[in-house]
Structure formats: structure tokens, C-alpha cells
Amino acid sequence: MTTNDTKGKIRTFLARYIRNHELQDDEDIFASRLVNSLFAMQLVLFIEKEFQIKVENEDLDLKNFNTLNAISGFIGRKANAA
Amino acid sequence: MKEEKKVKCVVWDLDNTLWNGVLPENDNVSLRDGIVDIMQTLDSRGILQSVASKNDYDHAMRKIEEFGLQNYFLYPQINWNPKSSSVKAIAESINIGIDTLAFVDDQPYEREEVNFSFPQVLCIDAADIDKLLLMSEMNPRFITQDSKIRRQLYLSDIKRNKIEESFEGPKEDFLSSLDMVFTISPAKEEDLKRAEELTVRTHQLNTTGYTYSYEELEYFRTSRDHILLIATLDDKYGTYGKIGLTLIECHKDLWNIKLLLMSCRVMLRGVGAIMINHIRNEAKKNSVRLRSEMISNERNRMMYMTYKFAGFKEIEKKGDLTVFENDLTEIPDFPEYAKVRIGLGN
């Protein structure tokens, strides 16, 4: 899967929560209060299911999930490690 | 306190168990003697009930309705699948551990089939039904206000979940449509039975799994070195009851969250994060540092995530125990989808 496919899927998922907002690839979705911690959990569950990876306790850091680039980079690293 | 296995849900077979006779062979079945009394007693003890039966769904449900028992059964599984899969589906739908189920069937084959896949399910021969109410597993230590209405609470959950499944749009919009009111108050004496019950019953949304007896909780409630909070949730479909408990140990300049739990019935309602942010606010107001303990297992990962996403950082790890600390910066406002009420201290 290319990075663009990954980003596309994440963007589609994020669009269900963040509407009327053009999200930039490096925009911090938590700092800008676009989403809250309840959303963070749903995001983790989505990533695990969609990309078939296991998010470990040590991966649960907002830095891995706070921008589109971060999420896609995190998924790439996990997929390569597997 | 020693943890004693208590049954949360009794799963009944129908043919020659709940009623005498085999429905596909003869429509004229009659209820087993005394069965309604047993069901009502279990219900009043807060023990849920369901059905795992190999039958035609419509036919069997019609019969259950004829007997006026349809409202007793949560997620009845009436199909031709192995009963192990029916039992599993019931545990998952109610969202309780499969080890809290009892299964009653007259057929040794069915009991063995369930026990083979799930040895942790308590399987009971229908011939022993008259002794069922006396079993220690069927006798909760306390019967609380919440246990008496437990089935009603679950029935309103089923209604909510149906609406949630058919709800188009983001989760937050659904949550907003519920008009939730989340109330956090210092525990009062009359809350303590339920508080003890919560520490024993709650596994998934439980940060440490520490269990406390009524007496210990009474001590914490009145101690100046502890804060014991209880939370309730209500929405337009009714109350969820008392669903949350938090114990904080207060040192001179440090608070330590020993236990934070929420009933699994409020999973993904976002109320765990509200509770945590309330405590963060209070710690900040009182100028103390804030720590929390976490004992991770396979089931409580959601709480680990809740802490992490609320900005808690690991400062110590001893075996299963993780100690977190929060720097009390960037505490978000309470979300818009729920009204938060803070009860007065004592």
C-alpha cells in the first residue's frame, strides 16, 4: 500500500469527525481542538482494524496520532516492522 | 477481599428446560413448575437472563410471548448454531465476561459442547434447577437499587444501541442527541454497597482492579486523606444508574488516583475522560501534583488509552504496575455532548 492510499483512508475516516474544515497534512488535530480524547480511542481502533496492525501500549502517544502525516508515518513503521 | 465468582447472567435452554416438551414436535408445551418464581427471584437479585435454544426463532419467541416472559430475556439466541456460539454472542452483546455466565440445559451433550469451548461458563443440569437459587454463585453479596433495576437498565441500552447503529454521522453527533448528564459527587453512605459492587463487577473500564469492601470504602469516604467519588449518567432514555467510581489518595502535595472505573455499559460515552479532566482541574486548584496507578491486563486497555490521551506520562513501572504523572497543562474543557454536574463535597 502506498503512503497516498494510507493517507486517503485516514482522511476519509477523519472527515467523519472533522467537518467544514480543510485539514492540512501537518495540522495538529488535538491541539486545534478539532477532536477530543474519545475520538483518539476510536482512531486507534480504526487503525488496528483497517491496517491490521496492533497498537501497543508504548505506541499510545499523541505524537503518533496528532497529524495526518504522523498517523501515516506510524502505520508505515508498524507495517515495516511486522 | 477474596474475589468470589458471581453469575451475572443465566442462559436458559428452552425445550425440556424452561418448559416441558420439545417445541418443534409439539406446540403444546407447558412451563416447568416453579420456573417463573425462579426467574423473578434471579431478576430481583439483579441477575440477567437470556436464552440459547435450537429452535425456529419466530416459533419459539411466539411461545415465550404467550407465557409473558419476553421482557426477561436479553439478546435471546434462538437458532441452529452450536450453543457455544450462542453463549458467546450473549456475553458479547451484553458486554460482560463469558466467565460470569451460567448455562442451564437438560442435554449433557449441549453442556459439554459449551464447556469444551468455554470451561469458565458454569453449566447446570436442568434436573438441578430447583437448587439453583441456593447456589452461592447466584447470591450476590448485596442487592442494590441498581441491581433491582438492572434488567431495565439493559433494556434501555438495547434501545439506545439500536438507535446508535442506525445513526448516520459522527459519533459525537449521536452522543449529543442523547442529552447526557454526567454527575460526579463525593460518595455518600448509601452509595457504598453499589461502590463495592462496582469494584467487584467491573473489569474492562477499570484502571487497577483493586477491590474494596464496604468497610474499607466507608473508611475512605470519611478519611481526610482520601477522596471517593461516585458518578451517575442519565440521558433521554433514562438513567444508567451509578456507573463510575474513583478513589484518590491525598498526600500533602500529591494526589494519587488508586482506582478509576466505569461500568462497561457506558463504554465509548467519553465519560472516563470527563472524570479524569475533572480530577486534573481539582488537582490544579489544590496545587498538588497528580499521579495515577494502572495495572494493565488484556481487558482494560481502554483505560490505559484514556490516561495516555489525557496526557499522563509513565514515570515508573514495577511488574504489572505502571505509575503515571500528569503535568496538569492543557486541560480541555468538558465536551459539548454532555452536561457535567459536580455534586457538593461533605
Residues of A in contact with B304 (CB under 8 A): 57, 60
CATH number assigned to the domain with residue range B9-138, chosen from the 4 options 3.40.50.1000, 3.20.20.70, 1.10.3470.10, 3.40.50.880 = 3.40.50.1000
Whether the pLDDT of residue B2 is over 80: the answer is no
- Closest chain B residue to A45, measured at CA: B302
Rounded mean pLDDT, A20-39? 78
Q: Which residues of A sit within 8 Å Cβ distance of B?
A: 16-17, 19, 33, 36-42, 44, 57, 60-62
Residues above pLDDT 90, as percent of chain B = 75
pLDDT per residue as tens digits for the range B13-44: 999 999 999 999 999 999 999 999 999 999 99
What type of residue sits at position B220? F
Cβ distance of A37 and B171 shorter than 8 Å:
no
Query: What is the third-level CATH fold of B145-342?
Result: Aminopeptidase (3.40.630)
Cβ distance of B304 and A33 shorter than 8 Å:
no
Backbone angles phi, psi at B49, to 5 degrees: -140, 150
Q: What is the ipTM of this complex?
A: 0.82
Whether the pLDDT of residue B346 is over 60: the answer is no
Q: Which domains does chain A have, with CATH numbers?
A: 3-81 (1.10.1200.10)
Minimal Cα–Cα distance from B140 to chain A, Å? 33
Q: Give the pLDDT of residue B4.
A: 61
Residue of higher predicted confidence among B134 and B163: B134
- Mutation to test the A interface, candidates B167, B266, B305, most A Cβ within 10 Å: B305
Q: Rounded to 5 degrees, what angle do the CA atoms B135, B138, B143 make?
A: 130
pLDDT per residue as tens digits for the range B256-290: 999 999 998 888 888 998 999 999 999 999 999 99
**Distance (Å, rounded) from C-alpha A64 to C-alpha B254?**
30
Q: Give the pLDDT of residue B175.
A: 86
Minimal Cα–Cα distance from B307 to chain A, Å? 9
- Closest chain B residue to A38, measured at CA: B270
B338-342 and B180-186 beta bridge pairing: parallel
Q: Give the pLDDT of residue B282.
A: 96
Cβ distance of A41 and B309 shorter than 8 Å:
yes
Averaged pLDDT score across all residues of chain B = 93
Closest partner CB to A38 (pick from B169, B273, B304): B273
Highest mean pLDDT among A34-48, B150-164, B212-226: B212-226
- Which residues of chain B form CATH 3.40.630.30? 145-342
- Which residues of chain B form CATH 3.40.50.1000? 9-138
DSSP B134-188: GSGGG--S---HHHHTHHHHHHHHHHHHHHHHH--S-HHHHHHHTTEEEEEEEPP
pLDDT per residue as tens digits for the range B118-145: 999 999 999 999 999 999 999 998 888 8
